[in-house]
Amino acid sequence: MMNYFWILSKIGIIYFVLILLLRILGKREVGQLSIFDLVILLIIADIASLGIDNDGFFLASVLCLILLAVLQKTLSFVLLKIAKLRNICDGSPTIIVYNGILKIKNMRKELYTMDDLVGQMRQADIMDINEIKFAVLETNGSLSIMKKNENKNFIMPIILSGEYVLDNMECIGVLKEDIEYILMKNSLLLKKIMYASVEKDWFLYYYKESKKSKDISQCKIPLRLDKKKDVC
């Protein structure tokens, strides 16, 4: 009887420890799993099961779970500061279809087959590739699709977390040299730009002036450089 009580107690303790860990790790771990997140959760599941099965490992498993949460939270903070390292750990979104055109090179790079594409098209109620205006393979494996008949302005990020998104720039025909010139003429540092895109004749961006900046509003600069003043 005591053995059953001890097993149930271990399950209960592990259960509440896991809930606490997931709360610490944040909503991202539950809402969308990248490869990095999935590996962490699989390790957590294995350690938790060992703690329940093995009495001698129970306390050690709880400590291991706490250590994993601390390491994950620390690494997440580092990834928040270093965009290149984030791309290595989490990967980056990949364009699969642009204006009805298949990006075969990107599909090969991601080992993404036509069967994968057609299956995810059906889930989005799309029967033909030509109906797709834009489709991107997210880091968690899902396919985000915009249809051609949707009445939305088609805007793609060209800068994210202080890094150029070269694939997007190539798709929409924006030259890196032109953006670099705009930044230089307006005394803007690339590493301080959180997000930037191009809409018609405007360069839109969110600029983090300092580490103390909290809420950031969108600003815009005319792509025609004869106008100097930016608008926020």
The tens-digit pLDDT sequence of the chain (232 residues) is: 456 566 667 667 776 776 666 666 554 444 455 556 666 777 777 777 777 777 777 778 878 877 777 777 777 777 777 767 766 666 778 899 988 889 999 899 888 999 999 998 998 888 888 888 889 988 777 888 888 876 666 788 999 888 899 888 988 888 899 999 999 999 999 989 989 999 888 899 999 887 776 778 889 888 764 444 444 4
Same domain, 55 and 19: yes
Same domain, 44 and 106: no
Same domain, 82 and 17: yes
Domain count across the chain: 3
Same domain, 168 and 108: no
Same domain, 100 and 82: no
Say if 152 falls within a structural domain: no
Query: Which of 88, 108, 124 is the C-terminal boundary of a domain?
Result: 88
Say if 166 falls within a structural domain: yes
The sign of the CA dihedral 189, 190, 191, 192 is: positive
Same domain, 64 and 30: yes
Say if 13 falls within a structural domain: yes
CATH number at residue 124: 3.30.240.20
Query: Which of 70, 88, 106 is the C-terminal boundary of a domain?
Result: 88
Q: Which two tokens stand for residue 93?
A: 């979104």
Say if 61 falls within a structural domain: yes
pTM of the model: 0.62
Same domain, 102 and 84: no
Say if 105 falls within a structural domain: yes
Say if 63 falls within a structural domain: yes
Helix axis angle, 58-81 to 35-53, nearest 10°: 170
Same domain, 143 and 128: yes
Helix axis angle, 58-81 to 2-25, nearest 10°: 10
Same domain, 83 and 38: yes
Same domain, 6 and 84: yes
Range of the domain at 169: 157-222
30 in Cβ contact with 22 (< 8 Å) = yes
Place of tokens 């799309």: 126
List CB contacts of 83: < 8 A, sequence separation 6 or more: 160, 161, 162, 163
Say if 84 falls within a structural domain: yes
Same domain, 8 and 29: yes
pLDDT score for 31: 46
List CB contacts of 206: < 8 A, sequence separation 6 or more: 193, 194, 195, 196, 216, 217, 218, 219
Residue 117: Cβ within 10 Å count: 21
Query: Which of 101, 117, 147 is the C-terminal boundary of a domain?
Result: 147
Same domain, 84 and 100: no
Say if 232 falls within a structural domain: no
176 backbone dihedrals φ, ψ, rounded to 5°? -60, -40
